[in-house]
Chains A and B, each alone.
Chain A
């Protein structure tokens, strides 16, 4: 089955700097890759996603890149702000499997 590895497990950056979180997946048939943000005491919330027919997608300060050949995808947050502090999860979905496989999460801390 699908396996998703996420790195790093913790990340601390200065406010205003960029943050990058990376994930690799094992199933080449996976075709949908979302990123979720989870704040303390809340459920995860989708922040951006990408499908396998696209290499990059941007939404204001966040972007996701996908390398299908290498089977990895990354989340990029620019101009980080204190409210970006949270746990971020990547996931992969294979058509027909009908479920997401999540990475282990990255705790991002933005230092003022």
Chain B
């Protein structure tokens, strides 16, 4: 079946511009996660959505970052007034119910801020 998809695969933007990154989770998965992976680094948790509950935003690095999940499915991560330090690969993952179990990752969006 279809896995987690993300778009765009690559995004180059100028410093100060806003960007939107999209994630389509696996159908039926109620939990959705966003992570950031800087070059050669591990995965940094950003935000977590579970069903209709309020999202866990504890990993967002600044108020320039926000995310929404419409209809319990597609999610958009928005970065406003991008900075060079925002350059990274942004990974989305989904899981069946948010409990301790497999998270299925998308291929990521590579963001480059010039």
Contact status B42-A51, CB under 8 Å: no
Cβ-defined partner of B102 (8 Å) among A34, A99, A105: A34
Cβ-defined partner of B107 (8 Å) among A31, A42, A101: A42
Chain A contact residues: helix, strand, loop or mixed? strand
Please, what's the 1-or-0 string for A94-112, where 1 marks a CB less than 8 Å from any CB in chain B? 0100111111110000000
Distance in angstroms from B38 CB to nearest chain A CB is 11
Give the chain A neighbours of B99 by CB distance below 8 A.
95, 98
How many angstroms between the C-alpha atoms of A23 and B45 in the bound complex? 18
Which residue of A42, A89, A98 has the most chain B CB atoms within 10 A of its CB atom? A98
Q: How large is the interface on A (under 10, 10 to 19, 20 to 34, 35 or more residues)?
A: 20 to 34
Q: A-contacting residues of B (Cβ < 8 Å)?
A: 4, 31, 33, 40-43, 45, 48, 50, 56, 59, 91, 93, 98-103, 105-108
Apart from A100-B103, A102-B43, 20 more pairs, CB < 8 Å: A31-B100, A32-B101, A36-B105, A42-B107, A43-B4, A43-B91, A43-B93, A43-B107, A43-B108, A44-B43, A46-B102, A89-B42, A93-B100, A98-B48, A98-B50, A99-B56, A100-B45, A103-B42, A104-B42, A105-B40
Q: B-contacting residues of A (Cβ < 8 Å)?
A: 6, 31-32, 34, 36, 41-46, 49, 51, 89, 93, 95, 98-105
